Amino acid sequence: MSRYAYVNGQFKQARNAVTHIEDRGYQFADGIYEVCTIVNGRYCDFDGHFARMQRSLRELRISPPIGRAALELKIRELLKRNKLRTALVYIQVTRGVAPRNHLFPISGTPPVLVMTARRFNLEESDAKARKGVKLASQDDIRWGRVDIKTVGLLPNVLAKQAAAEAGAAEALLVRDRVVTECSASNAWIVDKAGTLITHPKGNSILGGITRETTIACAAELHIKVEERAFTLEEAKAAGEAFYTSATSFVMPVIKIDDVTIADGQPGPVAMRLREAYKAKVCSA
């Protein structure tokens, strides 16, 4: 947990960091967020995270609270105050504080920027990847614009909780028998021919920044990538499965529901991609 947080221009001890009760993020989930990883002081995929944050703000017509250079300075100071060099940084921007009304507040209402940082243990993540994890399929009941990284995450929360209660690390979201993504990550399979398959970008998935870098890593490794929808049945019959996110990198999957994937061990393609991803974004 953060010892210090950033709230609208001020660094405060986390226990004293608050925003107004009429913040539209609290009352309407009217805001966006990003999570970026820093390893040994190095930003991982920050260009992509910042670009996606800007896109999410544009889609919701929220003004950016500060520019990129200022944001990076604030993050550096946040890490310094929390005595962290390897961390997960949470960035949230809401439409601001205004009397409760479904309509947007008056022009000029300043957005609210909040940031926290917490320790990220890369060694624990690597150990988890070497073992592989289980997914539990859940119905995808989210709204129709999940390509915007909003703070309206209740369906994701419910899916991930149900997955945890089933002994799984993540929820595999399924709509009309088609896998969209996971509750907080993008889903992938490897077919018997060795081709990587992941759902195409669009309104029905959040285009992951780690997803994009994984595609670039696959190209460098001469691994074919096919962006298309696949079914839950295909996933369970795949040669490999894994998911990608800023907090998990490339995480091998060894079981979906009660079905063991291939031989029940992390697959070689996933592990190669994980190492390639780490080399690309985490190395000094």
Is residue 114 within 8 Å of 10, Cβ to Cβ?
no
Choice among 134, 149, 236, 278 that is catalytic: 149
* Rg of the Cα atoms in the chain: 19
DSSP H helices, the chain, are: 24-28, 46-60, 68-81, 122-131, 154-165, 209-220, 232-236, 268-281
Q: Name the residue among 90, 144, 97 with its Cα closest to residue 117.
A: 90
- Could you tell me the maximum CA-CA distance found in the chain, to the nearest angstrom? 59
Distance of CA 77 to the CA centre of its chain: 23
Size (the chain), residues:
284
φ, ψ of residue 184 in degrees (nearest 5): -145, 30
Residue type at position 162 = A
Please give the helix or strand (H or E) that residue 13 lies within, else none.
strand 10-13
Whether 149 sits among the annotated catalytic residues: the reply is: yes
For the annotated catalytic residues, the residue numbers are 149
